[in-house]
Structure 1
Amino acid sequence: MERLPYILVLVAWGFVSLGHLLPDVIGERLRSHLRSVAGLAVAVHAITLVVVGAMAPYETGFPEALSAASLGVGLAYVAVANQRLRALGMLLGPLALVLLGTAQVVPHRTVTALQQTGVSPWLPIHLGLMFAGLAGFALSFVVGIVYLWARKRLKQKKFHGMGRLPSLELLDRIQFRSMLFGFVFLTLGIGAGGAWAAASLRDAWEIDPKVWFTLLIWAWYGAALQVRLVAGRRGRWTALFSIVGFGGMLFSLVGLNFILGGWHAYGG
């Protein structure tokens, strides 16, 4: 991975995170530029990923997966970084920073399927759709945490720090829409991955643990949407589904490929 652009993006996310976690350190004047800094970081990050992927398509592996996850979270940040929803950046900014920082220090391991089958035109489509879905789920995850925290504070009649937050109704609407966005792109990403597998891996993909775990996550989010749309369970239910589901997404991205192997496993 080319280090310099990623270092610049790390510095940008560090500044954004500092602006949310320790606002008095950088002052209100600099804080007004957080969204611009985040937008620039996302643009540089996206261009770098595309260039690196084009230069070395067979080398896509674990660091690139973490980096793309960070980009997805960054896109979620930019989507909500207006004045009314700025409090959500307190979690999204540091999450993007941690994911990208981890990508810079972990050993490089290439995805097994790329080592054995090479690059297909379906690959960038599959990855782009999957990480767009991850961005939606990341936003739903963060909003879910904020929703549960705000709901608890209101029940306890502790209103300190609540003035900057959107209403529970708005938070619930955001977490639902971002979950729906993520589910649609996850569905399309699974379809694109299936097309790639059918063309390159024949029947071998059917025994890949990552495929089945991803389908389990898809079913989980599908159940969450059904619970909301059919059973009418909103708010807390949606938040809990979002938090557990995103935890499964991160485990699938970071842990599963090392533990169970398969075509998605990170080789040497």
Structure 2
Amino acid sequence: MNPAGADLTLAGNANMALYASMIVYTLAMLVFAWHLAARAGQLQAPRAVDRDEVLVGSTVTAAGATTGSLPSAGVRRSTPAEPAFEESPVSAQRGNIALMLTYLATALLVGSVILRGFAVARPPWGNMFEFATAAAAAVGLTYSVLAKRNRWQWLGVFIVTPVLLVLGLALAVLYTEAGELMPALKSYWLAIHVGVAFLAVAFFTIAAAIGVVYLVRLRREEKPPARRGFIESLPSSAALERTAYSLNMVAFILWTFTLIAGAIWAKQAWGAYWQWDPKEVWTFVIWTVYAAYMHGRATAGLDLRRSMSIALAGYACVIINFTLVNLVSTFVGMHNYSGM
């Protein structure tokens, strides 16, 4: 039956674009893994290297100067204790192919979300299926924007894989037919509040991926393995940690806005800024954990490994907020719009 207010033709096209994006993302994941395999085979014996590797957003001039860095740019200075790494044309080509596939897959996914929005004539995040696909699109788009400039091909497999898992979960478990929006969500705050939340989650996700890689890289630096793998070809642990901190800072600012916007919307919809709704509580829990991370990161003498663990705990709270809080009956509240 045609749900009221939904264009089933556009909704079907949105689904086709979603399936196509998953196929292309799968190809990108495989090529990213192939790229990492090539990097692992290029490591040379440890030696001093007279160069700087700029991790985030800088351009190296012919004279060796750097320009145009993003906040907290991570600069890796090779030391006699770490292996030199010069990427081969073959490895670079594989990374670029994977990145191009990611661009295509992300364009298809964004197109799917837009078509779904046109099909239902509203912002396309009125149920858990739409939440999941829109959030995955935000992660893919944010990574695509940052990856080329920062040469983050090495990070691709750690981003594309969870995006694929989310899309698979959305189709297999969360799928909901296109239909009208629930009355409680019919507000311009839906686009503002939820849209900024998606962007914050995208930055949190990329920062969490880099944070996990940082912990592995740090362990390998402290206890060098007998045989080096692709981990040793990645930027230094210090550079990875600084980059994750930069991304978490951006995400934290966006999440702060999300929390405030949600309170304003709650006042308009329910007559009070705060109702102790499970979604409200977990949104504040996420903010609190990341605030603790920011404070710990700025505290002199605190172990950076410990502060990164706090950040990853915060990301675990993000996952709980977007899954269990919406799907488990224990957390039933005014925010339960899963559509299931």
TM-score bin (small chain): 0.7 to 0.9
| Greater C-alpha radius of gyration | 2
Tell me the residue number matched to 2:96.
32
The size of the alignment, in residue pairs, is 264
- After superposition, the C-alpha distances for 1:172-196 in whole angstroms (9 at most, x for unaligned) are 1111001001101111112222222
Q: Is the 8 A contact 1:205 1:211 kept in 2?
A: yes
Tell me the residue number matched to 1:226.
295
Instruction: Return the match for 1:130 from 192, 197, 206.
Output: 197
Tell me the residue number matched to 1:173.
242
Give the C-alpha shift of residue 231 in structure 1. 4.0
Instruction: Output the amino acid matched with 1:104.
Output: L
Deviates more, 1:35-44 or 1:211-220: 35-44
Structure 1 residue 19 corresponds to structure 2 residue 31: yes
Structure 1 residue 207 corresponds to structure 2 residue 272: no
Deviates more, 1:216-225 or 1:197-206: 197-206
Instruction: Output the amino acid matched with 1:64.
Output: E
Instruction: Return the match for 2:137 from 67, 71, 82.
Output: 71
Give the C-alpha shift of residue 50 in structure 1. 3.0
- After superposition, the C-alpha distances for 1:124-181 in whole angstroms (9 at most, x for unaligned) are 1111100111011111111111011011111111261234201112101111001001
Deviates more, 1:2-11 or 1:161-170: 161-170
Distance 1:192 1:53, change over 3 A: farther
- C-alpha distance in 1 between matches for 2:166 and 2:173: 11
- C-alpha distance in 2 between matches for 1:68 and 1:232: 40
When the two structures are superposed, what TM-score results if normalisation uses the length of structure 1? 0.88
Within 5 A, what are the aligned runs for 1:1-268? Answer: 2-23=14-35, 29=93, 31-56=95-120, 57=122, 60-78=126-144, 79-81=146-148, 84-108=151-175, 115-158=182-225, 160-161=228-229, 162-203=231-272, 206-231=275-300, 233=302, 235-259=304-328, 260-265=331-336, 266-268=338-340
User: What are the ranges of 5 or more consecutive residues in structure 2 without an aligned counterpart?
Assistant: 1-10, 39-89
When the two structures are superposed, what TM-score results if normalisation uses the length of structure 2? 0.70
Give the C-alpha shift of residue 54 in structure 1. 4.1
The DSSP-based 3-state class of the residue aligned with 1:203 is coil
- C-alpha distance in 1 between matches for 2:150 and 2:193: 34
- After superposition, the C-alpha distances for 1:216-262 in whole angstroms (9 at most, x for unaligned) are 11010011001111345363123212221111101110111122111
**Identity among equivalent pairs (%):** 25
Distance 1:219 1:118, change over 3 A: closer
User: What are the ranges of 5 or more consecutive residues in structure 1 without an aligned counterpart?
Assistant: none
